Structure 1
């Protein structure tokens, strides 16, 4: 009510966007630009916030979606002249760290995991199993690379080399993003782009984050004890609240649990 009374100063507000989970182009629980776009737009537009906070807890995922989300955040921050501050919870790794680097400042808990600035592609090989079962794989293509990395055929060295080239190019994009966003903060005598991970204290020393701290006390210290937190997040579809899409949710949960597990979480 206070903000509607003329000449009466309102309490400062900060907008909080929660970015928790895997980053993927599809999936109801996944982080992607399509589902987050309206959330991010509202966070920057409503109530003239002093800052936009990113609450991040993500082991990564799609490099494209990470780039799209991060670019949207940067674009709105610059258009509206609103600073962005990231707070890492359990992990901001790979694409999760890409999102964190979209912020002007990054803070984390002592035990937060940060880094994994690399690119990975994983698959499986089932050609020996099929052969033992007497199953013949038949694939017909126009274009010699159309069946690249078919998991039901032996690995082709040319396909592997081609995939490695693609991964290297994506890795360059990742490194360029981090180098630009953390300009002047990263050591020149240390390769931080090996896919290695660090706890927060070490990440501070390496310039990957700006300090150790938690959102509420830091924002109160910066904007005053009466600062208000307006939270924004993706709402679940109405029917999902009544137990529909359980199979899809279960599969996504397994995948997400596996992604977090690689960081000991």
Structure 2
């Protein structure tokens, strides 16, 4: 079933992000921010999210991640590489993904080849709106416009006798400059709480991405993050958590 973006009643300003200027300042002050989906809709020009049904449905056709060192079969994913300059955002030829063991002690240290994000999804209106938002925000924060971008589609599946682990490597950094994690849809799961930490692993905050377009934004050089496992609510129904992860690294 496609996730539908419905009209949302007016809500009071979120203390983490009641304007783009406030969002920028909050990240400067704390190193991270939670942005609710209703706010992201305004910033992403909702009239332009015309391909949202196709965008969200693309999570339904993803292969398993075969690089899980814990043997888990709970994660599906696709991956794409892009670049951004002052002149715009460009999809790059498909490339493998690599993280060192310093950043990913479970699955790092090997070159990982994932299925590509469908080109129509990567170049579609929703993805381009999200990437443009990230480019503008991160370029302002980092005082830089030339970026290496990676996009990851993740589906974390839970089963009655097995949790799904969004971050099986634990509390971590991604080894980039900035990270955006955007909720696409949740079905029949509980928990999946995002936790933010300083470099000494002290917890700074926690929140749960529940609605489409809910986002966590992280200054990866200043904060660490993790997500608690998701569990099935109704054993008779499929259970999963779909998110888009976008990382920006200075070139």
TM-score (norm 1): 0.24
Highest CA radius of gyration, 1 or 2?
A: 1
More helix by share: 1
More strand by share: 2
